[in-house]
Amino acid sequence: MSVTLDTVNELIRARLLPFPKRHFLGAQDLDPPDIMNLLDLADVFVDLNRQTTKKMDLLKGRTMVNMFFENSTRTQSSFELAGKRLGADTVNMSMKTSSVAKGETLIDTAVTLNAMKPDLLVVRHSASGAAALLSQKVGCSVINAGDGQHQHPTQALLDMLSIRRAFGHVDGLTIAVCGDVMHSRVARSNVILLNAMGARVRLVGPPTLIPGDADQWGTEVYHDMREGIEGANVVMMLRLQLERMDGAFIPSTREYFRFFGLDREKLAVAARDVRVMHPGPMNRGVEIDSDIADDTSISLIQDQVEMGVAARMAVLASLAARLENDQ
Ligand code: NCD
């Protein structure tokens, strides 16, 4: 679709509302109307991102700092592009977490950074709660880009944008979140957001990879892959987070694929219009068969990457609008 910059500007003026909070730390920061607003705004940015000229000046004069203590390709570049397309000055700081005194390192760095007067701080850290801790120490808006196994709220938002664009709605859909739920911040943020928007969420995985309190998450729990994805509209696969496992959670990756890896045969029991998602990076042949991951008639995986930039632009623009109101 081709839209003029004037149309985009007009739509943004109509849809841009201040973010409900000063920081975006978890999916619970958004109520259903906030989620709808952000998705509607993100839709405009999808159109903008498909144009030759993608640059706006909504964040002109603002400084955005990416502080990634964990390695990341897509999330970091997605935030960087989102900031740049909105006209912000963006800085990437690649930090390596020292295993000793993580707490001190984080706070020291935050206080130092704060003195440089950034407006938006995007944080990824291996410790749950790191973004929340930081938000208490700095004067700018903090966005959680993944904290340990706790939350990854912009991922849930971009996932929901991908789902809404594929189905036209989210309410009433059955979404099976499959695999290593235990170590997944993506799963935790998605469950909160999907429940808020009226989807039926199922968690599917071996008992060792489903958290003990998952029955209190407002979801159904399945330990058999076929039962779990039967009739599902969306099958969201999770990466086996080997780096976060401190013990033997699965017998072997081969056996894991046999029982919980997504292949054509297992997918056959899902709804006829099923769409498959994965936040990336994928372990092909471990949690998902390449044949499915690369089949664009059912896979939304590339859409998720595209929607990531648009969803993050919506979050950044709304947070900046909030900063404007607060100042
Ligand atoms: C996820 C993450 O880092 O939490 N990936 C991502 O943001 N693209 C999921 C994962 O690492 O498996």
Mean pLDDT score, 115-135 = 94
pLDDT digits (tens, 9 = 90+) for 51-78: 998 999 999 999 999 999 888 889 999 9
Query: Of the residues 184, 186, 188, which should be mutated to test ligand 1's pocket, given the most ligand atoms within 8 Å of the CB?
Result: 186
Q: What share of the chain is helix, strand, coil (3-state, %, to 5)?
A: 45, 15, 40
Mean pLDDT of the region 292-308: 98
Q: Does residue 8 have a pLDDT over 70?
A: yes
Q: What's the 279 CA to ligand 1 centre distance in angstroms?
A: 6
Question: pLDDT value at position 96?
Answer: 66
Q: Is the pLDDT of residue 138 over 50?
A: yes
Per-residue pLDDT at 99 exceeds 60 = no
165 within ligand 1 shell (Cβ under 6 A)? no
Residue 219 to residue 169: CA distance in whole angstroms: 19
H-state helical runs in the chain: 5-15, 32-49, 74-85, 102-114, 130-135, 153-167, 185-196, 225-229, 253-260, 264-267, 290-293, 301-326
Among 204-208, 240-244, 319-323, the minimum mean pLDDT is found in 240-244
Ligand 1 atom with minimal separation from the 145 CA? 7
Shortest-distance atom of ligand 1 to CA 308: 8
Q: Per-residue confidence at 298, pLDDT binned at 50, 70, 90?
A: very high
Confidence at 190, pLDDT banded by 50, 70, 90: very high
Measured from the CB, is residue 74 less than 6 Å from ligand 1? Answer: yes
pLDDT for residue 98: 46
pLDDT of residue 205: 97
Centroid of ligand 1 to alpha carbon of 111 (angstroms): 27
pLDDT confidence of residue 141: 97
155 close to ligand 1 (CB < 6 Angstrom): yes
Confidence label for 101 from pLDDT (cuts 50, 70 and 90): very low
- State how far the alpha carbon of 134 is from the alpha carbons of 95, 199, 207, 247, 249, in Å: 15, 32, 34, 30, 32
- Cβ of 186 less than 6 Å from ligand 1: yes
Measuring CA to CA, which residue among 179, 190, 261 is closest to residue 219?
Answer: 190
C-beta separation of 192 from 155 below 8 A: no
The pLDDT of 42-54, averaged and rounded, is 95
The rounded Å distance from CA 304 to ligand 1 centre is: 12
| Mean pLDDT, residues 219-238 taken together | 98
pLDDT at 104: 61
pLDDT exceeding 90 applies to what percent of the chain?
81
Residue whose CA is at the smallest distance from ligand 1 atom 3: 146
Distance of CA 280 from the midpoint of ligand 1 (Å):
6
125 CB under 6 A from ligand 1? no
Q: Which of 239, 282, 312 to mutate to test the pocket of ligand 1 (most atoms within 8 A of CB)?
A: 239
- What's the confidence (pLDDT) of residue 109? 83
